[in-house]
Structure 1
Amino acid sequence: MGSYREAYQRSITDPAGFWQHAAEAIDWIDPPDRILDDSTAPIFRWFPGATLNTCHNALDRHVHSGRGDQPALIHDSPVTGITRTWSYRELRDEVAVFAGALRRLGVERGDRVVIYMAMVPEAVIAMLACARLGAVHSVVFGGFGARELAARIDDAQPRLVIASSCGIEGGFKGGFEGGIENGIEGGIEGRIKGRKVVRYQPMLDAALAESAHVVDWCVILQRPEAPADLVPGRDLSWADAVLDATPADCVPVAATDPLYILYTSGTTGRPKGVVRDNGGHAVALRWSMENIFGVRPGEVFWAASDVGWVVGHSYIVYGPLLAGATTILYEGKPVGTPDAGAFWRVIEQHRVSAMFTAPTAIRAIRKEDPEGELLSGRDVSCLRTLFLAGERLDPRTYEWAGDLLGIPIVDNWWQTETGWPIAASPRGLQELPTRPGSPSVPMPGYRVRVVDPYGVDVPAGVEGVIVLGLPLPPGCLPSLWRDDERYVRSYLSAFQGAYLTGDGGMFDADGYLYVLGRTDDVINVAGHRLSTGAMEEVLAEHPAVAECAVIGVGDLLKGQIPRGFVVLRAGVGTPPAVLEAELVARVRERIGAVAALRRVDVVAALPKTRSGKILRATMRDVADGREEPVPATIEDPAVLEALRPVLRTPR
């Protein structure tokens, strides 16, 4: 681990020196002469006194360095049949014009702007335009429910909202010949040639009616699939907003000023707004692109995520552009647009060097095309590395993808709060071997510890709670939006001098970290603490299983017992009763009778968030008879409704 170990040790023993050197890759207006402010610990600030502009570092600096004609952004939209590329100069110019339009509507440095858009290039332009002005953007998933959108509007108190008129979801059948057929009529949802078109305007109208905060304007991107009916005096079309707008220059901001707010939860009560600052964010993401992802200027990087998630912020928009790479914005799915070969088509067509997606996406592809036949005939030799994160990467998916593609599969672990990987194999620093079930080793700057309930470090091979020593490295949240007290209470109070990740895990003897799931996914069966993640790993190894979930449900005798749910690969003909017996036997053999897994249900699908995380807590609530609100992040509520009878049926 030579060069990795040297870099990691320096980041721990001399964090100021390490990050001062990393900061040299960023253009500063007033360079940092002080690296870390610890005067208000446990809340820390990186690069106090320095000034910069994030948009300048993402766009203008590359134009000024002579690479203005290099592709910066590729929008690939199989749901509309449109693909378009912007050079760095073209993207800079469009961002400057839209920033000028926002300024004309009253947006200034420090103002908040809520962005409620589909995966369209204007979403990226809007984010960068806010950064250009020093305004603070808060991206809310297009299609989020009105109540959740209203809560975020009330918390962020934006000057204006930027929205697209609709989103287009799901797959399609029969291609796009003939174009749009008759549009869609009425309601929020409709279909055009098999595509689900979701109108955003009714939800935006309802949210604005419910929220106490009043915005000055709404800028609406009119999409031809479902144009919105604009409200006079409040709504302005994107086209009208930019008409004759004067391009805006970059506004200097403090390194400690917020760049964006990203809400992580809060369907009831006040939502939790993670703040990302400008200086630490730029330094950390620029460093991570080169050293973790191994991406060089001019190469193509694809994060198959959504700008509504932290992955979209970090590795669709800011990270690749800060590094001078080409980034792909993909409006589609891993399957169904048009088939399970969609990812291979994008990689081949755009010559992708490195890709980032969720394990769920790969499991979906494996379910539909278990032999990888749709990769046949595709030239994906350009792809060096596949990075997977967002939820637990089971060894079977790791091995399937590696065998199919013949390249390193790099698990990595991080959170919305951290903004970039806590643990990974740093491909640009040193290509450490990867291991199934492990996101490899802690990244520089992260003091990763595994502790017992009293905060004492546990030996290698022993499970515990994963915490991060303070200060967190640059790029991590400095606090929550306007709520330092809640930040300390939620993350910093459980263990002195440490940030609580909420995940459990262990180190092995070689220093590789194993993340075994959220600590609330550890169940207590007759006094025995058992990891549902370990049981899932056993189920996932069965050749018939495409994906699975294990939850703990209440039991009068044992307190809790585990229940398993599996989705089968395409073409599996094993009778469910036979498969259940095989799976139960596997868990008993691998974990022991103490696991008490007696029931495994075969289901058509598992309820997930839009980022692909299985809603285990929601499934547990339904099984235990608690009628908690359905999370606003759910991708398809119908999946949960179909599963309710199974969850509620005792056996």
Structure 2
Amino acid sequence: VAEPEKVWGAAAELIQWSKPWARALERRGPGSDSWFVGGELNICYNAVDRHVENGRGDHVAIIYDSPVTNTKEKITYKELLEQVSKLADVMVRHGVKKGDRVVIYMPMIPQTVCCMLACARIGAIHSLIFGGFASKELSVRIDHAKPKLIVTASFGVEPKRKVEYISLLEGALAMVQNKPEKVLIYRRPNLGHVPLTPGRDLDWEEELAKAQCYKCVSVPSDHPLYILYTSGTTGLPKGVIRPTGGYAVMLNWTMSAVYGLKPGEVWWAASDLGWVVGHSYICYGPLLHGNPTVLYEGKPVGTPDAGAYFRVLAEHEVAAFFTSPTAIRAIRQQDPEAALGKQYSLKRFRMLFVAGEHCDVDTLEWSKKVFKVPVLDHWWQTESGSPITASCVGLGNSTMPPPGQAGKPVPGYNVMILDENKEPVKAKTLGNIVVKLPLPPGAFSGLWENPEAFHKLYFQKFPGYYDTMDAGYMDEDGYLYVLSRADDVINIAGHRISAGAIEECVLRHHAVADCAVVGQEDALKGHVPFALCVLRDDVKTEEKKILEDIVEQVRNNIGPVAAFQKGVFVKQLPKTRSGKIPRSALSALVSGKPYKITPTIEDASVFKHIEEVLKKK
């Protein structure tokens, strides 16, 4: 963007401000630049009240689809407004004020979205924590955010088990220094009884029955909307702070510019509300832009089968859909021909977006074939809050970009590739992906209670730039290829090889459903790549033969320099809830070193299974 103030000033006109802003951008130093200075607004007003006032109160805001509880519900803007404004009243009545924190520890249910919006309505800062996070992790975040109130639900539901939220929360509160005064509990129907602790616990239904409708509170543009804890590798939790004004402007703009949607069209982001995609594109983005948002409490497979996504797309007439490559690989592993999906007519469906990790070309091509729509990979981070690179459908970008890319820089993101000496590199050369400052509206404005780490982590290594800590390259046409986190580059006898590039190559083999490549310590070369592969369910070929094939494949495609010769076959890979592979833990594991299991891992028992497979080898 040559004139950022002009572009974002125009985008900001589409948001309603209770007090107009005086300056679009104020430069205050690395990471501290401020957008829409002097302006005041309320994001809940823009996401809910505004639609009701404009005569769209009876339009659908949220489509709740829960195969795990066999529930479907459509919630209009008018119904949402009533719930949210009453919940805001409950919070205020129990002492929550503007600037106070509220921890939300809840599953994928409409009440969770209501909580987020109710906090925003009164200027409280929400911190949503993955439902089912273990007590220790939960306690660390509660201690760090020091909430006035915690909101939780009685149970979460996974395909084969109930998640006992209350006992997990009790476990966390036993370890917490800063105990909140009140806990508001939503008791889910038909899942079992949970007792309340007198004097501390509040019953959701009882409290709402006594509540009035509470009006929106205006906040300054840079007022924190939420704190979102992202997986820091060391030390204090990284609580990303999101400024309200810029975020509202950017999300509303991306719904049309990036995702190509008109208000009223159905949108589905198959993520968890506890992840940045959930905050931006299940809750705030679609509601701001007037798109019915699908809230899906289920999985890509197992609820009940690999046809689940197709059913949701067909039944709710979804126009555009956002998911992770991991989810698509899970569907393909169980149903290689997507036979279960063929019974559904996807007549309104026109665009599939993937993000969360690099999408290998093979998975991308398979998705195009079975969903019969353009499939676009794009890339962003918790810190950015919205896409950094994408094929911006609404701006007329190609929906047939070259294979392997993650789009071009989204307007406002001046993306560059620098080497270790901070010099720009030639096209197609692997380097550090950085963004020239200032960051556009909606990007994070700090780390909660940790300004030192904010500056050190993101702005120190490359002065004048934001360090994404990802590695990749750009081609001559300006498409970005994100290969891996900068720390996923394997140093093989001085050659820097991307783990992502080797994975891509391994995944081309028809028998391999999923794969992780990590560095294994080697006396001679420092590190060598080691592959952990998951085979498709219907494979008959001998494992030894498959390994020989993929070694040959990597040698032919990447070259002997990759020194790739070793691998094992496992039942599944450990993944975080957002679909990422915990490479550093796997690297330590295959090198016979002690390893740390990050708390966001879906199923920690997979590590034991891999250990046993390695022992047999």
- Category of TM-score, reference length = shorter chain: over 0.9
- Name 1:108's counterpart in structure 2: 97
Q: Report SS of the residue matched to 1:208.
A: helix
- Name 2:417's counterpart in structure 1: 450
CA distance, structure 1, for counterparts of residue 511 and residue 458 of structure 2: 40
| Counterpart residue type for residue 95 of structure 1 | V
CA distance, structure 1, for counterparts of residue 529 and residue 422 of structure 2: 28
CA distance, structure 2, for counterparts of residue 40 and residue 431 of structure 1: 33
- Name 1:550's counterpart in structure 2: 517
TM-score using structure 1 length:
0.93
Query: Aligned-pair distance for 1:32?
Result: 1.3
The verdict on how the C-alpha distance between 1:56 and 1:143 changes in structure 2, with shifts beyond 3 A counting, is same
CA distance, structure 2, for counterparts of residue 206 and residue 288 of structure 1: 40
Superposed CA deviations along residues 139-160 of structure 1, whole A, max 9, x for unmatched, are 0011111111111111111001
- Name 1:351's counterpart in structure 2: 317
| Counterpart residue type for residue 466 of structure 2 | Y
Contact 1:335/1:342 (8 A) holds in 2: yes
- Name 2:187's counterpart in structure 1: 222
| Counterpart residue type for residue 372 of structure 2 | G
Query: Aligned-pair distance for 1:565?
Result: 1.3
Does residue 608 of structure 2 align to residue 641 of structure 1? Answer: yes
Query: Aligned-pair distance for 1:201?
Result: 1.0
- Name 2:75's counterpart in structure 1: 86
Percent identical residues:
49
**Correspondence 1:189-338 to 2 at 5 A:** 195-223=160-188, 224-266=190-232, 269-338=235-304
CA distance, structure 1, for counterparts of residue 109 and residue 78 of structure 2: 19
CA distance, structure 2, for counterparts of residue 570 and residue 226 of structure 1: 36
- Name 2:336's counterpart in structure 1: 370
Contact 1:623/1:648 (8 A) holds in 2: no
Contact 1:625/1:648 (8 A) holds in 2: no
Choose from 501, 508, 511 the match for 1:541: 508
CA distance, structure 1, for counterparts of residue 423 and residue 30 of structure 2: 22
Contact 1:197/1:226 (8 A) holds in 2: no
Q: Report SS of the residue matched to 1:630.
A: coil
| Counterpart residue type for residue 219 of structure 1 | L
Contact 1:166/1:227 (8 A) holds in 2: no
Contact 2:16/2:46 (8 A) holds in 1: yes
CA distance, structure 1, for counterparts of residue 580 and residue 28 of structure 2: 38
Contact 2:31/2:446 (8 A) holds in 1: no
The verdict on how the C-alpha distance between 1:41 and 1:116 changes in structure 2, with shifts beyond 3 A counting, is same
Choose from 340, 343, 367 the match for 1:401: 367
The verdict on how the C-alpha distance between 1:97 and 1:109 changes in structure 2, with shifts beyond 3 A counting, is same
TM-score using structure 2 length:
0.98
Q: Is there any run of 5+ residues in structure 2 with no aligned partner, and where?
A: none
CA distance, structure 2, for counterparts of residue 240 and residue 624 of structure 1: 55
| Counterpart residue type for residue 243 of structure 1 | A
- Name 2:52's counterpart in structure 1: 63
Choose from 578, 582, 588 the match for 1:615: 582
- Name 1:602's counterpart in structure 2: 569
Query: Aligned-pair distance for 1:611?
Result: 1.3
Does residue 109 of structure 2 align to residue 142 of structure 1? Answer: no
| Counterpart residue type for residue 241 of structure 2 | V
CA distance, structure 1, for counterparts of residue 395 and residue 197 of structure 2: 53
Aligned residues: 615
Query: Aligned-pair distance for 1:41?
Result: 4.1
Does residue 345 of structure 2 align to residue 379 of structure 1? Answer: yes
- Name 2:6's counterpart in structure 1: 17
Larger mean CA deviation between 639-648 and 277-286 belongs to: 639-648
CA distance, structure 1, for counterparts of residue 193 and residue 152 of structure 2: 12
**Correspondence 1:570-585 to 2 at 5 A:** 570-585=537-552
Contact 1:607/1:636 (8 A) holds in 2: yes
CA distance, structure 2, for counterparts of residue 314 and residue 484 of structure 1: 24
Q: Report SS of the residue matched to 2:395.
A: coil
CA distance, structure 2, for counterparts of residue 643 and residue 617 of structure 1: 15
CA distance, structure 1, for counterparts of residue 169 and residue 506 of structure 2: 42
- Name 1:435's counterpart in structure 2: 402
- Name 1:462's counterpart in structure 2: 429
Choose from 453, 459, 466 the match for 1:492: 459
Superposed CA deviations along residues 165-222 of structure 1, whole A, max 9, x for unmatched, are 111112xxxxxxxxxxxxxxxxxxxxxxxx3111011110111111111201001111
Choose from 444, 448, 451 the match for 1:477: 444
CA distance, structure 1, for counterparts of residue 598 and residue 72 of structure 2: 33
CA distance, structure 1, for counterparts of residue 261 and residue 143 of structure 2: 39
- Name 1:521's counterpart in structure 2: 488
- Name 1:589's counterpart in structure 2: 556
Q: Is there any run of 5+ residues in structure 1 with no aligned partner, and where?
A: 1-10, 171-194
Q: Report SS of the residue matched to 1:130.
A: helix
- Name 2:154's counterpart in structure 1: 165
- Name 2:596's counterpart in structure 1: 629
The verdict on how the C-alpha distance between 1:268 and 1:39 changes in structure 2, with shifts beyond 3 A counting, is closer
Superposed CA deviations along residues 517-573 of structure 1, whole A, max 9, x for unmatched, are 111111111222211111111101111111111000111111101101111122111
Contact 1:448/1:467 (8 A) holds in 2: yes
Query: Aligned-pair distance for 1:294?
Result: 0.8
**Could you say what the CA RMSD is over the residues aligned between the two structures, in angstroms?**
1.2
| Counterpart residue type for residue 228 of structure 2 | L
Does residue 414 of structure 2 align to residue 425 of structure 1? Answer: no
